[in-house]
Chains A and B, each alone.
Chain A
Amino acid sequence: MLARVAENVYWMGRYLERMDDTARLINATTHMLIDSHEDTRFSWPVLIDVLGEDAKGFIQEGSSSELGVMHYLIVAEDSTASIRHACSQVRTNARCVREVIPREFWEEINSLHLFVQSECKLASNRAKRYNLMAEVIRRCQAVIGVMDGTMLRDDTYGLFNIGRHLERADMTTRIMDVLILQQLAPAAGRQTRRQFEWSSLLNAMGAVESYRRYYTEEPGETDVTDFLLTYGPFPRSVASCLEKIERSARWLPRSESVLKTIGNIRNALDSEPLHSLNTLGMHKLIDDVQAGLIDLHGALMSESLQAPAA
């Protein structure tokens, strides 16, 4: 595989996952607000905290309107946090690597792009938005399904997977971080973490039922944070993402730094029992994991994806 193409494939995976996760988060948040309790401090701008670093300029100072936030997260093409932007990036990167992907895969991405361009034009009301986000999620999954059924298990597949799972791990930690900060008082104990806010978080990851089973079947003192950070069988947990990245990275050239960084993140997660951490400790841990993911991206870019000098 060409070094130039490798980077495109990686970003294609990242942006596709970002679209999927953003749509899930929007729907989960909407649901939570529908049945929110009076004492919740959750509000729309929280989503900006999760997803956006460049929200200023898009959202008016002090404005917390639902439509404003949705415009920023779904419609605004120049917002790097928007679904439309992510989708354009998926298509642009796919266009640059068409020669290494099967026709069906390309067509699925292309039709996803056409759909998003024509449907994600206005920040609409909640009912329409729910269906729209559900359709975006479904179409993202269709892309993954076609890829799974048609693509050679080669460098392209590996890098696409690394991109997807790095983005997914990042998104899982972002969501946890904000919810922890927003929702839990420093003294909040184990029980609180199982309150409804967490179930909306689980909902965003399609994890409500899986968590139920985990909670009733796994022995020991574990909770949602264990489930989302360290529980390998759950495909959106950080541990599961790391495992998939590691499996693909083994085949890459110059992957020592990448593999070492994965080890560092694992060590951070294993250092103490998660349920014993208070909110600040949890926040610090998640910061460490996020820093590790940034290192992982850096190692990939500066070593594995650089063509060796001739």
Chain B
Amino acid sequence: MSDVIALDPYRPYPDCYDELVDTNGVARPQALAVARFIMQNGAEELARRQAELDRTISAMGVSFTVYSDSQNIDRAWPLDVVPRTIAASDWQRTSDGLKQRLQALNLFINDLYNDQKILKDGIVPSELVLKSKNFLAPCQGFEPAYGVWANICGTDLVRDGEGNFLVLEDNLRVPSGVSYMLENRTVMKRVFPELFAESTIGPVDDYPAQLWNMLASLSPQDAETPRVVVLTPGIYNSAYFEHSFLAQQMGCPLAENNDLYVDDDVVYLRTLHGPQRVDVIYRRIDDTFIDPQVFRKDSALGIPGLIGAWRAGNVAIANAPGSGVADDKVVYAFVPEIIRYYLKQDPLIDNVPTYLCMDDKERDHVLANLDKLVVKPANESGGYGILIGPRATDEERAQCAAAIRENPRNFIAQPTLNLSTAPTLCDGLLEPRHLDLRPFILQGESLYCTNGGLSRVALRRGSLVVNSSQGGGSKDTWIINHGS
């Protein structure tokens, strides 16, 4: 190949995999077009495009909401100008692995709420599941369409020093972010039309149609066009932008709880022209809030009688209530075994090595190595409650140790990872910044995985925290087919 482009003066961190360049700073094959653009146009042009991109985002009204921000409920979505490129060949295996994983997790959830064979066979400890607050007793003995509980999964992936994809966590409750994946692409197409002309970039824009097809496949009625609604907690929810975006893109009503009611185990939508029967609900409300008659009595977001209608088989709910039982960082540690148990296959993607604090030996190891490990609570999301051992103070570590001893079941620990990096425009210069990737996987009648996903990037130098609620940014993710 005559194409050797060094992304000077950019240099990656020595011990991390960089997505765009190798250790010498030379562009990887899938990043050639991007590197050429950068070298030909320079950092100033990049900064100009970044400004244009920011203007586009604000004109498109792409925003996210931070709860503590009482003044300004919408903030402009942060997107870095440099795309992340992944070779299609690397992605194929990852995508297969993600589908494999979701398939196994759904078999697992269905088993837990029915025969519990995996517990009887001693593969997963019974108490781990049965004492979990995410195991919802009212869901027992039920089997949703195709036996699938988690219809929409957002799996967080990271890459180790060698560039291998590893699963960091599975989000099986109400995973969010897919609208930003879609909007990032729309913005990039407007700002970099020339790059899209030059490269073969895997499209992402079929997601809303795939999502609708999957949801429609869950309908208990035979109707040709089932009535699918998106259920949102309302305009003050941090993911409201995404709820309205997905409803708009799928062409579905966006309902709040008061727009729905249950009569004789059938769910209806209150429309101007009278009640309309609802077949499928894509809920973006936590499952314990969806029906005050069954779960949290204090829920003001729920629809009384919804679980009854669901159990009567009159309405499908995605994700099914109770699917969060497999979205737990302790269960996570067992996923490779779960895959082997149900599918008789080896996992195509590995987990990050994980220590379970509920295990005496592993707990001792964790407590002795708090300065090297990342400790995570089993049941939090959004990056909350995480201790990054090497960067914590002695006091923070002591507090964490006490919390682990108090409730070992509630914690896991993992080695600090050298997350992969990509060149990111920081104050006018390209610098390496750590990132992760959240692809979205759908399972109904069939399985689907997005082309790439949402790449989130930690904007502070050296930081590993990518959550947008904590100052993270994002990148458009390009699956590049650069030929053989």
Q: Which residue of A lies closest to B245 (CB)?
A: A98
B213 at interface, CB cutoff 8 A: no
Q: Are B61 and A106 in contact (CB under 8 A)?
A: yes
| A contact residues around B263 at 8 Å (CB) | 310
Q: For B273, list chain A residues within 8 Å (CB).
A: 1, 253
Contact with B along A77-101 (1 / 0, CB 8 A): 0000000000000000001101111
Question: Do A99 and B274 contact each other (CB < 8 Å), given the known contacts A2-B269, A4-B258, A110-B61?
Answer: no
Among B61, B245, B247, contact of A107 (Cβ-Cβ < 8 Å): B61
Nearest 3 interchain pairs by C-beta: A99-B247, A110-B61, A98-B244
| Residue interface bits B262-282, CB-to-A below 8 A is 1, else 0 | 010000111111110000000
Using known A-B contacts A96-B235, A110-B60, determine if residue A155 contacts B244 with beta carbons closer than 8 Å: no
B59 contacts which of A98, A114, A310 (Cβ < 8 Å)? A114
Sample (24) of A-B pairs whose CB atoms are under 8 Å apart: A1-B271, A1-B273, A2-B270, A2-B271, A2-B272, A6-B272, A96-B235, A98-B247, A99-B244, A99-B252, A100-B248, A106-B61, A107-B59, A110-B60, A111-B59, A114-B58, A155-B272, A252-B272, A253-B272, A304-B272, A307-B270, A310-B261, A310-B268, A310-B270
B contacts with A: majority SS: mixed
Complex alpha-carbon distance, A106 and B241, angstroms? 12
Q: Is the interface of A mostly helix, strand, loop or mixed?
A: helix
Contact A99 B272, beta carbon cutoff 8 Å: no
Bound Cα distance from A96 to B259, whole angstroms: 14
CA A100 to CA B245, docked complex, whole Å: 10
Given A110-B59, A307-B271, A310-B268: A103 in contact with B244 (beta carbons within 8 A) = no
- CA gap between A111 and B263 in the complex, in Å: 43
Contacts from A to B (Cβ < 8 Å): 1-6, 95-96, 98-101, 103, 106-107, 110-111, 114, 155, 252-253, 304-305, 307-308, 310
CA distance A304 to B274 in the complex (A): 11
Q: Is the CB of A4 within 8 A of B256?
A: yes
Residue B253 is within 8 A (CB to CB) of chain A in the complex: yes
State which of A2, A103, A304, A305 has its C-beta within 8 Å of the C-beta of B253.
Answer: A2
CB pair B235–A95 under 8 Å, yes or no, is: yes
Q: Which residues does chain B contribute within 8 Å of A4, judged by CB atoms?
A: 256, 258-259
- The interface residues of chain A lying within 8 Å CB-to-CB of B275 are 308, 310
CB atoms of B272 and A305 under 8 A apart: yes
Q: What separation, in Å, do the CA atoms of A98 and B275 have in the docked complex?
A: 22
Say yes or no: is B215 at the interface (Cβ < 8 Å to chain A). Answer: no
- The complex places the Cα of A298 from the Cα of B322 at a distance, in Å, of 45
Chain B's closest residue to A310 (CB) is B275
- Give the distance to chain A from B179, nearest Cβ to Cβ, in Å: 11
- B261: chain A residues at CB < 8 Å are 310
Q: Name B248's contact: one of A5, A101, A252, A308 (CB within 8 Å).
A: A101
Q: CA separation between A71 and B88, bound complex, in Å? A: 58
Q: Is the CB of B235 within 8 A of A307?
A: no
B79 to chain A, nearest CB (A): 16
The answer to the question of B320 belonging to the interface, with a C-beta cut-off of 8 Å to chain A, is no
- For A101, the chain B residues whose CB sits under 8 A away are 248
> Could you list 11 further interchain pairs (A-B, Cβ under 8 angstroms) beyond the known A2-B253, A310-B263?
A1-B253, A1-B271, A4-B256, A4-B258, A98-B248, A99-B244, A99-B253, A107-B60, A114-B59, A253-B273, A308-B275
Interface size for B (C-beta < 8 A) is 27
Show the binding face of B for A, using Cβ within 8 Å.
Answer: 58-61, 230, 235, 244-245, 247-248, 252-256, 258-259, 261, 263, 268-275
Q: Which residues of A contact B271 (CB under 8 A)?
A: 1-3, 307
B residues within 8 A CB of A107?
59-61
Which residues of chain B are near A95, meaning CB under 8 Å? 235, 244
Q: A99-B254, A111-B59 are in contact. Are A3 and B247 (CB under 8 A)?
A: no
Chain A CB within 10 Å, residue with most, of B254, B268, B269 = B254
Residues of A within 8 A of B61 (CB): 106-107, 110
Q: Which residues of A contact B270 (CB under 8 A)?
A: 2-3, 307, 310
CB-based contact B255/A2 at 8 Å: yes
| Measured CA separation A94–B43 after assembly (Å) | 38
Minimum Cβ distance to chain A for residue B359 (Å): 47
Closest to B259 in A: A2
Task: Determine the residue in chain A with the shortest Cβ distance to B275.
Answer: A310
Chain B residues whose C-beta falls within 8 Å of the C-beta of A1 in the assembled complex: 253, 271-273
Alpha-carbon gap, A106 to B58, bound state (A): 12
Which of chain B's residues have a CB closer than 8 A to the CB of A310?
261, 263, 268, 270, 275
Bound state CA distance, A308 and B261, in angstroms?
A: 13
Cβ–Cβ < 8 Å partners of A304 in chain B = 272
Residue contact B59 to A253, C-beta cutoff 8 Å: no
CA–CA, A253 to B270, complex, Å?
Answer: 13
A308 pairs with B274, CB closer than 8 A: yes
- When the two chains form their complex, are residues B248 and A99 in contact, meaning their CB atoms are under 8 A apart? yes
Least distance between A153 CB and chain B CB atoms (Å): 15
Task: List residues of chain B with CB within 8 A of the CB of A110.
Answer: 58-61
Q: Which residues of A contact B259 (CB under 8 A)?
A: 2-4
A170 nearest CB across to chain B (Å): 23
**Contact of B274 with A253 in the complex, beta carbons under 8 Å:** yes
Contacts of A252 in B (CB 8 A): 272
Q: In the assembled complex, which residues on chain B have CB atoms less than 8 Å from the CB atom of A111?
A: 59
CA distance A155 to B273 in the complex (A): 10
Q: In the docked arrangement, what's the CA distance between A107 and B258, Å? A: 28
Q: Closest Cβ of chain A: how far from B351's Cβ, in Å?
A: 37
A307 CA / B274 CA spacing, docked (Å): 6
Write the nearest CB–CB distance from A258 to chain B, whole angstroms: 13
Bound together, the chains give a CA A100 to CA B229 distance in angstroms of 12
For the complex formed, measure the closest distance between the CB of A120 and the CB atoms of chain B, giving whole angstroms. 17
Compute how far the CA of A163 lies from the CA of B256 in the bound complex, rounded to whole angstroms: 23
A100 to B247 alpha-carbon distance, docked (Å): 8
